[in-house]
Amino acid sequence: MMNRILIKNAKIVNEGSIFEGDVLIENEFIVEIADFISAKSSDCKIIDAEGNFLIPGAIDDQVHFREPGLTHKGDIESESRAAVAGGITSFIEQPNTIPNALTQEILEEKYQIAENNSFANYSFMMGASNDNLAEVLKTNPKNVAGIKIFLGSSTGNMLVDNDEVLERIFSSTPLLIAVHCEDETTIKNNLEKFKAEYGDDIPVSAHHLIRSEEACYLSSSKAIALAKKTGARLHIFHLSTAKEMELFTNKIPLEQKKITAEVCIHHLWFTNADYDTKGNFIKWNPAVKTENDRNALWEALLDDRIDVIATDHAPHTLEEKQQSYLKAPSGGPLVQHAVVAMFEAYLQGKISVEKIVQKMAHNPAILFKIEKRGFVKVGYYADLAIVNSGLPWTVNKDNIFAKCGWSPFEDFTFRSRITHTFVNGELVYHNFKVKDIRRGKRLLFDR
C-alpha cells in the first residue's frame, strides 16, 4: 500500500529562499512541490504545517553514538531517537567506539547494528591508525562517508602521530579525510604546567588554556599543508579558534573546495566564561574558548569560510561528568538541541533560516556527495522537519531523549520547537513523541 502524506501551508526553506506551499510525499520520496496541492484521494494523510518552517532534515556529519563497547553512555537506538527529536534525519558516526573501527569487518558490524536499530539515516567513518593503511584503502567510497584521523588523542586510542604514515594516508586515498586537529605535545606541555601549579585540582576553567589555541592551530595548519602537498580531500572537524579562521577561504564554491571546515554548536554558543556555571558539562575537545574566538567563528560561518554546522554529540554519564576536571571525560549530548539552538540564534538576529539550512543540510550533502538528501526537492528522499519558531519549551530531564539523561542546555527555554520529523517519508517524531518506527537507511554517496 502506498504511503502518501501531504504537508500543507508550509514555509518551505530550500536553496537560499523561503516560499509558501505544499509538499506531497509518496512512500520515501518527495513527488510534488507547489503553491497548492489538493488531496486527490482519501488515502492521503494531511499534515497542516500552519505557516511554520519546513526544512530539509539536518545532516550531522560528526557524532559519537557509543556503540559498540560504550553503550552505558548511549547507543545507536537511543541517540538516533534523540537526533530525530531534534530534526536531524541523517548522521555520520565516528570510529572511536570499542573496538575501534579500524578494520572493514568491525566497520560493517556497526552498519548492521544501525540497520536494525537506527531511527535516522546513517553512515560510519572508517578509522585510521598508525598501522592500518591496508584496511583504510579497502574502504568503499560509495557507501562509507570517509576516513577519520585523530591528530589529537581526544577520547579513545586512535592518535596518528607518525608523519610518514600520515602522508601515506593523505597520498593514497581518494576518500574525504576528516581530522580532529590538536597538537598532542603542546597539550601535554600545557598540562604539566597546570599540574605543577594545582596538582590534581586543576579547575575546569583551565581547559581552554591546556587544549589551547596554539595546540589547535599547529595541528590544523599542518594538516592543511599536507593536504595541499598531496592533493588530499580534507575536512577539518570542530574548529574552535579565531586564529584558525585565516586558514580557510570563501573564494571557491563549496563543490570545488578541496579543504573544508566545520564548526560545532557548543563553540558557537558557549565561551570560557561559562565554565564557572557549567563546569565539566561544557568540557569538550577541542575546548570551548574565548568570546573573541566565538565571534570569529560566527563571522567565518556567515561569510562561508566555515561550511558546515555539526554537533560532535558525545554523551557521557552524569556520574562520569561529575568527577574532577582531570577525571571527567570530554564531550556531551547535543543532537536533540542543535537545530533549535541555531533557530534561537536566528531569533536573536545572528543568522538567517536560509543560512541555517545551508550549513546543516545542503552543505553536508554537497560536501560528502550524499545521494538524494539534504534538500526539499522532487525526487529526493522525504527527510524533513517542521519548525515552529514561536513555541517555547524548556529543556528538562523529562524531555531529554539522550540515554545519558542530561544536557548542557538544561533549564534553558528555547523559543522554537521541532514539531514533526520525517525520515524517508515516514512521520517518526511529533511533539515530544518518537514513534517506534526505525526507518533509517544507509547513506550512499555519488562518487
Q: Which residues are catalytic?
A: 312
Distance CA 360, CA 306 (A): 12
Distance CA 86, CA 65 (A): 15
- Cα torsion 225, 217, 314, 97: sign: positive
Residues 6+ apart with CB under 8 A from 109: 68
Distance CA 206, CA 179 (A): 24
Neighbours of 22 (CB within 10 A): 21
Distance CA 87, CA 334 (A): 12
- How big is the CA angle at 26 (ends 90 and 54), to the nearest 5 degrees? 55
For 28, phi then psi, to 5°, come to -95, -10
Please report which residue ranges of 350-435 form alpha helices under DSSP H: 353-357, 363-368
Dihedral Cα 240, 320, 403, 442, nearest 10 deg: 50
Dihedral Cα 226, 228, 231, 236, nearest 10 deg: 70
Distance CA 323, CA 329 (A): 9
Distance CA 269, CA 409 (A): 10
Whole-Å CA distances, 92 to 142, 193, 214: 14, 36, 28
Q: Please tell me whether residue 337 adopts helix, strand or coil conformation.
A: coil
DSSP letter, residue 390: T
Name the CA radius of gyration of the chain, rounded: 21
Whole-Å CA distances, 222 to 171, 238, 367: 15, 16, 22
Specify the residue for cell string 560536501: 367
DSSP letter, residue 197: H
Cell numbers for 34: 507547489
Distance CA 381, CA 278 (A): 39
- What is the largest distance, in Å, between two alpha-carbon atoms of the chain? 74
Contact 218, 151 (CB under 8 A): no
